[in-house]
Amino acid sequence: AQSVTQLDSHVSVSEGTPVLLRCNYSSSYSPSLFWYVQHPNKGLQLLLKYTSAATLVKGINGFEAEFKKSETSFHLTKPSAHMSDAAEYFCVQGDSWGKLQFGAGTQVVVTP
């Protein structure tokens, strides 16, 4: 069975500093991996997805993630945090039929 582990439930960063959100996956086959963001009282929005075309995936709003098969990781990064990045972030794995399994989420707080 596949599972997704987000290693930090809560991350606090200062505006302008880098953001790192950690995610490990477990899968017996080549996974489809996603990062979604959920702003307060808003719907889920796709940040980026990995579909085996390239290991470094660039997404919206300056986010990117690197797929590392040897480490079964798919960490999300952004060089410089903005106040508008405060939200909850979900690492997600999809199965062959597109059913998504979500990590527990990481709450990001950005301080001025």
Partner 1 sequence: GAGVSQSPSNKVTEKGKDVELRCDPISGHTALYWYRQSLGQGLEFLIYFQGNSAPDKSGLPSDRFSAERTGGSVSTLTIQRTQQEDSAVYLCASTDTGTSTDTQYFGPGTRLTVL
Q: Does 43 bind partner 1 (CB under 8 A)?
A: yes
Give bridge partners of residue 46 from the DSSP assignment: 36
Q: Does 94 bind partner 1 (CB under 8 A)?
A: yes
Kindly state the smallest distance separating residue 76's Cβ from partner 1, in Å. Answer: 17
Q: Does 44 bind partner 1 (CB under 8 A)?
A: yes
Per-residue x/- marks for partner 1, 45-64, CB under 8 A? xx--x-x-------------
CA distance 106 to 23: 10
**Amino acid, single-letter form, for residue 84:** S
Kindly state the smallest distance separating residue 52's Cβ from partner 1, in Å. Answer: 8
Taking CB under 8 A as the binding criterion, the range among 13-21, 60-68, 74-82, 90-98 that sits at the site for partner 1 is 90-98
Taking CB under 8 A as the binding criterion, the range among 12-20, 58-66, 73-81, 89-97 that sits at the site for partner 1 is 89-97
Under a CB-based contact definition with an 8 Å cutoff, are residues 57 and 64 in contact? yes
- What is the per-residue DSSP string for 47-67? EEEE-SS-SEEE-GGG-EEEE
In the chain, which ranges are continuous DSSP H helix?
none
